[in-house]
């Protein structure tokens, strides 16, 4: 488990679960939305300004004919 915060000693008193998902589209090898991981990270900080704990990051790929979609799904606990 890890933390996403500037302070490594985050203590959550009343945590809630946060889920963020962003995606990147690739068509015939041409990648679009190349900052999708940075966008997900920014969304976590936006929704949890005091930081998050127990962060789980999933990297998923959906394949199609001559195209695919890369997804990042972040689940974490943050203060209510």
pTM of the predicted structure, to 2 decimals: 0.78
Kindly report, residue by residue over 40-77, the tens digit of the pLDDT. 999 999 998 887 888 999 999 999 999 999 999 999 99
- Residue 66 has a pLDDT of 95
Alpha-carbon dihedral 55, 46, 32, 61, rounded to 10 degrees = 20
Residue with tokens 């490594």: 8
pLDDT band for position 4 (cuts 50, 70, 90): low
Kindly report, residue by residue over 22-48, the tens digit of the pLDDT. 999 999 999 988 999 999 999 999 998
Q: Chain-wide mean pLDDT for the chain?
A: 87
Euclidean distance between CA atoms 47 and 78, whole angstroms = 8
Closest of 2, 4, 1, 3 to residue 43, by C-alpha: 4
Closest of 52, 47, 46 to residue 11, by C-alpha: 52
Sign of CA dihedral 40, 7, 3, 80: negative
């Amino acid at each position: 488990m890890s933390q996403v915060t500037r302070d490594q000693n985050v203590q959550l008193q009343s945590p809630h679960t946060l889920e963020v998902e962003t995606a990147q589209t690739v068509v015939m090898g041409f990648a679009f939305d190349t900052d999708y991981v940075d966008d997900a990270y920014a969304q976590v900080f936006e929704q949890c300004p005091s930081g998050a704990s127990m962060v789980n990051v999933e990297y998923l790929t959906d394949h199609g004919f001559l195209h695919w979609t890369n997804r990042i799904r972040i689940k974490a606990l943050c203060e209510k």
